[in-house]
Amino acid sequence: MSIFDEIKKKLSNEFIDIVEWLDASNDTIVHRFERYQNEIKNNAQLIVREGQMAVFVNEGQLADVFKPGTYTLNTKNLPILTTLKGWKYGFDSPFKAEVYFVNTRLFTDEKWGTKNPFMLSDDRFGLVEIRAFGTYSFRINDPGKFIVDVVGTDGNFTNFEINEHLKSLIVTRFTDTVGEANLPIELYAANTSELSETCQEVMQPEFNRVGIELEKFYIENVSMPEELKKEIFEYSRLDKLDMSKLAQFKAAKAMEAAAKNEGGTAGAGMGMGMGFVLAQQMGGLMGGQAIGQPTQPQQASMAPPPVPVQVNYYYAVNGQQMGPVSFERLKELFASRTINRDSLIWKQGMANWSALKDIEELKSFLGGNTPPPLPTV
């Protein structure tokens, strides 16, 4: 063996490299392995650890993707790269390629939220504003596509960079999904689990398009203005309560408040006068005698009330006349959202059809059954 052969052998041994990446951070998704002029020697060792994949890019084209394992870089392991280079003699000399290590572990507890409230249309409450926030988890499931479509030539790509893109995508798809669900407004906060699963299914194809898997998506809270919350609570109570019992209860509470009035003699007199009026009203509601009147048997003091006349209502749905139905049935139709505040209603004695919200005896359906101001003495 000549001296030149010895030198060539020695240099060949010295040229063998180890290509690897030890991730010392918690937020790096893609790291480019830096070499002088991107040169990799023949028979270099490529080490890809669990939770990583290595992507080779040659002259701007995706060449090869390596899963976890140890590889000797030669023509046997890099057939695609060899074809791209068009080499006739294999790797007898160093070759140039960019090597990107992609972190494929699960990135968890990433935050998302609506920066501004968005509008929804509700059949009972009209246009309302809501906000939402939560968390999501993702991983890279197609490193080659992710490098080509998202990373480009970025040598150190972090989850902060991709999160800004993902958050915008999530908020857009979330608002579309919520708007198309067309649920009653109070059900959004009560069905976050089901809504989260639906949103994840809708968003997954968008994530797959750039090589990302949306592992989990959670809606932690759906919030709305406090005024709207109060209206919803009041509406839900009125929908369940007996209206006559509610009137009796409010009259009793008003009497109690008047009795506790400590505003002096004038205040006491006013309280007594208000209490007397309310006592008369409550006596009428409960079928008893008002305070200050002699007690007599109920049968002797009151004649039987007249037999109530059944009032029938007609209503319109999708331009079709429906009915007639009773008051109670009409109330059930409103509660089940078959009709709403703007539905057209007609009964005998009315000249024209009118919206439900404009008919006096039907306004109690809307949760606005507030007693008039107390009389002053």
The domain in which residue 88 lies consists of: 3-103
Q: Is 240 part of any domain?
A: no
Helix, coil or strand: residue 295 = coil
Check residue 355 and give its pLDDT: 92
Identify the pLDDT of residue 40: 74
Query: In this predicted model, what pLDDT tens digit does every residue of 221-268 receive, in sequence order?
Result: 887 777 766 766 666 565 555 556 666 767 777 777 777 765 544 444
Tokens of 196: 């989260």
The answer to whether residues 125 and 67 belong to one domain is no
Residues 128 and 83 in one domain: no
Q: Are residues 54 and 146 in the same domain?
A: no
Q: State the virtual CA torsion across 104, 110, 116, 121 in degrees, nearest 10.
A: 80
- Considering the domain architecture, whether residues 85 and 156 belong to the same structural domain is answered as no
User: Is the same domain home to 93 and 144?
Assistant: no
What number is the average pLDDT over the span 43-69?
A: 87
Same structural domain for residues 11 and 45? Answer: yes
| Within a domain: 275 | no
More confident residue, 123 or 33: 33
Helix (H), strand (E) at residue 238:
helix 226-240
Tokens of 231: 């209206």
Q: What is the pLDDT of residue 288?
A: 46
| Six-digit token string for 81 | 């790269």
In this structure, are 97 and 121 located in the same domain?
A: no
Averaged pLDDT of the chain:
75
Is 251:277 a contact under the CB 8 Å cutoff?
no
Q: CATH number, domain at 176?
A: 3.30.479.30
Return d(Cα 141, Cα 104) in angstroms, integer.
7
State how far the alpha carbon of 307 is from the alpha carbons of 31, 303, 310, in Å. Answer: 86, 12, 9
Number of neighbouring beta carbons within 10 Å of residue 173: 19
Task: State which of 82, 103, 124 marks the end of a domain.
Answer: 103
Average pLDDT for residues 41-54, to the nearest whole number? 87
Same domain, 127 and 98: no
- Parallel, antiparallel, or unpaired: how do β-strands 61-66 and 52-58 relate? antiparallel
Answer with the one of 103, 132, 151 that is the final residue of a domain: 103
Domain shared by 117 and 35, yes or no: no
Boundary-marking domain end, from 190, 205, 228: 228
The number of domains in the chain is: 3
The reply to whether 120 and 98 lie within a common domain is no
Q: Is residue 295 part of a domain?
A: no
pTM value is 0.52
126 lies in the same domain as 190 = yes
pLDDT tier at 48 (50, 70, 90 boundaries)?
A: very high
Same domain flag for 140 and 217 = yes
Q: Is residue 55 part of a domain?
A: yes
Is residue 173 one of the residues assigned to a domain? Answer: yes
What gap in Å lies between CA 244 and CA 106, rounded to an integer? 59
CA–centroid distance for 274 within its chain: 49
- pLDDT for res 68: 93
The Cβ of residue 94 has, within 10 Å, a number of other Cβ atoms equal to: 15
Report the pLDDT value the prediction gives residue 73, as an integer from 0 to 100. 80
Query: Does 285 map to a domain?
Result: no
In a domain? residue 91: yes
Beta carbons of 62 and 80 less than 8 angstroms apart: no
Q: How confident is the model at residue 58 (pLDDT cuts 50, 70, 90)?
A: confident
In a domain, 237, yes or no: no
Range 225-247 burial, b when 16+ CB lie within 10 A, else e: eeebeebbeebeebeeeeeeeee
